[in-house]
Each structure stands twice: as structure tokens, then as C-alpha cells.
Structure 1
Amino acid sequence: MLEFIESAADVVAVTVSEKITGADLAAVMDRLEQAMDRHEVVHVFAETRSIDGVEVSGLGSHTARAMPLFGKLKRFGRVAVVADQAWIRAGSRVESALLPFVGYRVFKPGQRAEALAWVSGNADPDA
């Protein structure tokens, strides 16, 4: 289940729970493309809750649609990932290491407010 969270216009903020579907990925891409059309730098807040699967049928079209984003990596500002599962936090840290142009932080659920403040640019930059 996907839910968009109200946020600043240059922040794409979502909560995903249970299963990630092709429709979820398409909706996030739509929102991300809209934000990139309006802002030079876009920030992302992604919160996951109890993910128990990814719908494989949507991955092929999502991958093809997401590939052009690799040419726009410098347009991503801060990315905050809040995850209740260790495997998602670990995967996010690996992704962060592979994307050196992106400011990436991984948070636990108890740090959700801190993550939202940081991704929105409303937190102490040294925290």
C-alpha cells in the first residue's frame, strides 16, 4: 500500500507498507517526474513498514522508466529512508554508497520526525 505524505513541493514523500506493486512504483515515478519538472533539486522521503514482498510483474517497466534518472543523479538532494526492517536499512546504506552525489540518510521508525525535518532542510545540518 502506498500513501503520499504532504510535504514541500521539492520533496517527494511516501509511506509504503506490505507489498510494493507496479502501480506504487508508477505513482512514485509520476510524482518524481512532476517534481523534477518544477525544481532543479528534488528531495525524497521514503518510509517503509512491514514490507513482505515486491510485485515482480511491475519491475521490468519500472526499471526501464527509472533508467534515465541515472543521468539526473546530481538533481537529487537529500534522501531519507525510514525503515522498520533491518534488511531495508542495510540495502539503503548500500544504495547510498553507490550514489555518491546524493545526500542519503537511513533512519529507524522512532526517528521519523527527524528524518522528515532533515529531508525538508529544517534540521541541524551537523546532526
Structure 2
Amino acid sequence: MLTITKPEPNRVDIELSGRVSSEEMAKGLDDLLELSQDVNKGTMLYTITSFAFPDLGAIAVEMARLPKLLGLLGRFDRCAVLSDAAWLRTAAEVEGALIPGFDINAFDLSERDAAEAWLKTGTA
């Protein structure tokens, strides 16, 4: 399951759970692109539970949209990643260290309040 919502004008939330099919990936990424069009210096809450690698069709869908997705990075300043998998939290923070001007902080699923606070203030 991949669900994209926009709870606030300058915030987008992504929920990813289990294995994502190519149809789910296409809809989710199209939703992300559409909902992010007017975001400026935005924040993102990315919740990942029961992660399973997407099928090959879903990866192809993502690769086809990669140029547009990379263009989104300039619209966001900060992303909080909530996950039940320690390795995903570590990977997210490494990715954040590699992307200039885009802060990523990872939290355990039980730390949602701290993630929300960090998105609003920059401190957990």
C-alpha cells in the first residue's frame, strides 16, 4: 500500500506498507507529484511499516518518474521517516546526509510525536 496525503498546505505525508505493485506505485507517485506542486520549503512525514521490496514493475514506474521526483527535492526542506525497521531508519539518515539542503531524521514508529515536533521546529 502506498498512500499520499496533504494534511497541511506545506506538508505531504507518505505511508508505505508491504509490497507495492506497479499500479499502486504509479498512483502514489502521481499523487505525490500533484500534491507537491505548490509546496515551498515544505515538510514530509514518511511512514514505512512492514517493508517489502517493490515488484519489478513498480521499480520501472519509479524510474520512469525519477526526473520529476528529483525535481521535488527543492520543494522540501525536511523529512521525518517513521519505520519499524532499524536498517530503513539508518538508510534514511545516510540519504539525508548526502542530499544538500534536505534534512532527514529517522524515528521509530513509537516516536511519532517526536517526529511531528521535529518537522515543526527542527528539534526532537
Q: Name the TM-score, length of structure 1 as normaliser.
A: 0.80
Q: How does 1:23-102 map to 2 (within 5 A)?
A: 23-102=23-102
Relative distance call for 1:101 and 1:43 in structure 2 (3 A) is same
Of 114, 120, 125, the match for 2:122: 125
CA contact (8 A) 1:79 1:105 kept: yes
How far apart, CA to CA, are the structure 1 residues paired with 2:21 and 2:42? Answer: 23
CA contact (8 A) 1:11 1:42 kept: yes
Relative distance call for 1:60 and 1:6 in structure 2 (3 A) is closer
Listed as ranges, the gaps of 5+ residues in structure 2 are none
Q: Which runs of 4+ in 1 moved over 4 A?
A: none
Relative distance call for 1:53 and 1:37 in structure 2 (3 A) is closer
Q: What is the Cα deviation at residue 118 of structure 1?
A: 2.9
- For residue 100 of structure 1, what is the amino acid of its counterpart? P
Q: What is the Cα deviation at residue 40 of structure 1?
A: 2.4
SS of match in other structure, 2:51: strand
The count of aligned residue pairs is: 124
Answer yes or no: is 1:116 the counterpart of 2:113. Answer: no
How far apart, CA to CA, are the structure 1 residues paired with 2:22 and 2:37? Answer: 22
CA contact (8 A) 1:11 1:43 kept: yes
Relative distance call for 1:4 and 1:27 in structure 2 (3 A) is same
Listed as ranges, the gaps of 5+ residues in structure 1 are none
Q: What is the Cα deviation at residue 80 of structure 1?
A: 0.9
Alpha-carbon RMSD: 2.2
Counting aligned pairs with the same residue, the percent is 27
